[in-house]
Structure 1
Amino acid sequence: MLPTTFDLPVPCFFNVFHNPSDFLKLERQLMKVPFEIFSEIARARQRIIEKEMDNFVDSIAEATQKNMSETDALNHLGSLLSRLEELKMKIMENNSRQEMELEIIMKRLNHLQVLQFGGKEIEAKWKQMHVDRILVDYMLKSDCFDAALKLAEGSDIQELVDVKIFLDAKRVIQGLRNRNCSEALAWCAENESKLDNSQDSFEFKLRVQEIVEFLRNHQLEDAVNYAQEYLVPWGDQYKEDVEKVMVAFAFDNCAKCDSCKMLFDLNKWDALIGKFKMEFMRLHGITQEPSLIYHLTAGFICLKTLGCLDRECPIEDPLFEDDIRQLGARLPFWPHRRTKLVCYITKELMTLYNPPLILPNGYAYSKKQIRRSYMGYNFSKNILVQNQTCHDCCKA
């Protein structure tokens, strides 16, 4: 079933070119992810420069206090120059990564500008790209990485989706599924500054799991050494949890002890995968739920009127089928008994006093607009047919 509530607007997907400001609220992730990557690259470059320059200055200060021979001084200067060359190469590599991310940001901005300035000739193509983006996002968050990559390549939308960073996450997820924490711990080390503010530390859970695996394999000495090196520093922050782990050292068959069963539950690995996904998406500004869920929820709310519960609900109603209706069972009703119809040209509501009329081409417009556009012309009943119900008009 779809979720009960969400904080996003309820836009009409096929009217995005007429309501771009509302629809852009759903595109936060599109710009947030590359911006976060761009900012992280800039911060990493700043850290590298500060660290290397501090070491460079310390080396010069240390050298000036020594009585070096001319040969030793030249060798020392040569090593300093080599370090500066290495620093230059790191900065150039960092700059190239920033340029790549900047190009992605510009391409995504250009893609969104179609909402404001695009013509009808490219509207259909934009909509198809948007649908493909939604599907790729759903596949990535469902761990269908290969399918997402093929769809992105086939639709030529690699710069508009976040396949690259999810492929980095794939290594960590695969490692956890294989009951190996090394990839996850390496990821924690890379993002240490961002993870420090978390109240429920992912790294601490990984350290505990490493100890549990040592104990499961009866490697008591390795477990003790690992705990002394990696678990003790967390003692003040997670005192109760550390004490529970320490209890496991007191039993020979700790996996069967009532006090330690939860620690040795194999479902802990699934919990770690879920925790990693949550931290990964939070760090990159990615929504926890796939955007497909938000779009479906918005669509169901627009379609779910009180008229869907009537016995006279027509078969043309999208929610006529019980299976489809159950998907949105927990969603609220749209505050109208029938779906409202708005004239495409005048943007006025089509009511009893301004009913919808269907032209021979199958399009429906308001009676007021038809009269305004074709004043002076006579229409026969075969050319202009007044529509009596909302559902007949929906057929058009």
Structure 2
Amino acid sequence: MTAPDKPPETGKLTRRPRGKQDQPLLRVPNELARRNLKATQRLVEREKDYLLPALKDATNAAIAKTKTPDQTLADLDAMIARMKGFKQKMENLKEEETKIQTQTRKRIEHLEALNHIPSLADVKYEQWSRVRLDRLLVDHMLRSGFVESAEALAKENGIEDLVDLDVFKQCQRIFESLRKGETKSALQWCAENKAALKKSELNLEFELRLQQYIELVRSPDPEKKIEAIAYARKWLVSTQSEQNKDILRAAGMLVLTQDTKVEPYKTLFSDERWEFLAHLFLKTHHDLLSLPVEPLLNIALSAGLSALKTPLCHSAYASSSTNSASTATSVCPICSTELNELARDLPYAHHSKSYVAGDAIVLPNGRVYSKAKLMDISRQAGLAENGKVKDPTTGEIFDEDEMKKVYIM
């Protein structure tokens, strides 16, 4: 959970870096642009290594007349077909680059617009905040698997370039495939991001290969055991000491059955390991794109709730009053049943200046109010004439002599 920033002065806009909530807005397209450039470089290098030697061989063969004219033309036709395929791939990469650049420009403009809003009271700030809230909602729906709803909301509000629909759609597809017991898509993703994964400490590819080995060992067919040994030699052998320990454990699985009670083999054979792989992929994917694992909406809510939280919000008084019937028109967000549990582990708000009313009193239920405002509410309710006061939050009614003055030391 993140600690809340110090609230800005009234009417002024604080233009500070927006932390985890807005950093992914620019980091994701930057990472995608870097990958697109690397893919272009690999494609050019691969085609160059094929075409230049092929063209040289065709030229030498034509000069030396070691091939018939038809054979030479066939070689040239093959090279032309290869070049057409290369051109098409380059055009696709160019379209992707153009799309990324458009997204980056729109996102910079969105963040830059905040610098031209003079104060929080300006109507433009409300509009900007609404767009930001829509971004957070789309992000939350994408992470929760509601891809179609997220797409509809983004399209309706015209913020497709401000959210990462394609990124999360691919991520969700691979995540679900792992939960179904399939590794093909995840391994393909690992191959596409091999260079970036070398810097990761999560060893996703090794865990996926280990799972494929486990599926071979799990089979009752003796031939599969032999195939598993060959597979382990090809994919699991490593010089890293941490993985060597896992390799030794994998070797021990050859002499055990999947119903073993011995750990760690019981866990390795368990079907729950697919859930572990799915979440490992999710964490690896988000780390590579500098995306927080937690939804951005949760981070924003945490900051807001922490700025309001006081020790009373999770006291015995708050717990008892929250469950009681209430006729209140306003409720503390922290004490509400919807947000109370979410705010439980957040830090308390830190205020350098006290905002407690000078005539503060405490009611028998532990709630503190301004005496003047409380009496005014009680008069409007027709209770003051009878020496009664009403708690505006819980609706409880007390005698005036039950109120006690609050002293702040």
Give TM-score scaled by structure 1 length. 0.75
Residue 94 of structure 1 aligns with which residue?
A: 93
Q: Could you report, residue by residue, the CA deviation over 1:23-60 in whole angstroms, capped at 9, with x for unpaired residues?
A: 37631101111111111111101110011112112223
Provide the rounded CA distance (Å) in 1 between the counterparts of 2:314 and 2:175: 44
**Residues 305 and 339 in structure 1, CA contact (< 8 A), matched pair in contact too:** no
Structure 1 23/192 Cα, relative in aligned 2: closer, same or farther at 3 Å? Answer: closer
Dislocated runs of 4+, deviation >6 Å: 13-17, 309-315
The partner residue of 2:199 within 197, 200, 217 is 197
The partner residue of 1:57 within 46, 52, 61 is 52
**Residues 4 and 307 in structure 2, CA contact (< 8 A), matched pair in contact too:** no
Q: Could you report, residue by residue, the CA deviation over 1:338-389 in whole angstroms, capped at 9, with x for unpaired residues?
A: 7659xxxxxxxxx99xxxxxxxxxxxxxxxxxxxxxxxxxxxxxxxxxxxxx
Residue 111 of structure 1 aligns with which residue?
A: 110
Confirm or deny that 1:131 pairs with 2:133.
Answer: yes
Residue 378 of structure 1 aligns with which residue?
A: none
Structure 1 15/230 Cα, relative in aligned 2: closer, same or farther at 3 Å? Answer: farther
Residue 360 of structure 1 aligns with which residue?
A: none
The letter for the 2-side match of 1:103 is: T
Q: Which runs of 5+ in 2 are unaligned?
A: 322-327, 359-391, 393-409
Residue 261 of structure 1 aligns with which residue?
A: 266
Mean Cα displacement is larger for which, 162-171 or 299-308? 299-308
The letter for the 2-side match of 1:95 is: K
Structure 1 223/146 Cα, relative in aligned 2: closer, same or farther at 3 Å? Answer: farther
Shift of 1:17: 7.3
The letter for the 1-side match of 2:335 is: E
Shift of 1:73: 3.2
The letter for the 1-side match of 2:139 is: D
Q: Could you report, residue by residue, the CA deviation over 1:230-249 in whole angstroms, capped at 9, with x for unpaired residues?
A: 55443233222112112121
The 5 Å alignment of 1:203-242 reads 203-229=205-231, 231-236=233-238, 237=240, 238-242=243-247
Q: Could you report, residue by residue, the CA deviation over 1:157-214 in whole angstroms, capped at 9, with x for unpaired residues?
A: 2211112111111221121121111111111122112112223311111111122223
Provide the rounded CA distance (Å) in 2 between the counterparts of 1:214 and 1:39: 37
The partner residue of 1:289 within 294, 307, 328 is 294
**Helix, strand or coil at the partner of 2:5:** coil
Provide the rounded CA distance (Å) in 1 between the counterparts of 2:11 and 2:212: 50
Residue 144 of structure 1 aligns with which residue?
A: 146
The letter for the 2-side match of 1:184 is: A
The 5 Å alignment of 1:368-379 reads none
Shift of 1:9: 5.7
Structure 1 229/308 Cα, relative in aligned 2: closer, same or farther at 3 Å? Answer: closer
Confirm or deny that 1:38 pairs with 2:33.
Answer: yes
Between the two proteins, what is the percent identity of the paired residues? 25
Structure 1 9/329 Cα, relative in aligned 2: closer, same or farther at 3 Å? Answer: closer
Shift of 1:278: 0.4
Residue 243 of structure 1 aligns with which residue?
A: 248
Residue 335 of structure 1 aligns with which residue?
A: 350
Residue 10 of structure 1 aligns with which residue?
A: 5
Residue 364 of structure 2 aligns with which residue?
A: none
Provide the rounded CA distance (Å) in 1 between the counterparts of 2:134 and 2:8: 14
Mean Cα displacement is larger for which, 59-68 or 288-297? 59-68
Residue 177 of structure 2 aligns with which residue?
A: 175
The letter for the 2-side match of 1:49 is: V
Question: Please, what is the CA RMSD of the aligned residues?
Answer: 3.3
Provide the rounded CA distance (Å) in 2 between the counterparts of 1:248 and 1:40: 38
Mean Cα displacement is larger for which, 15-24 or 85-94? 15-24
Residue 298 of structure 1 aligns with which residue?
A: 303
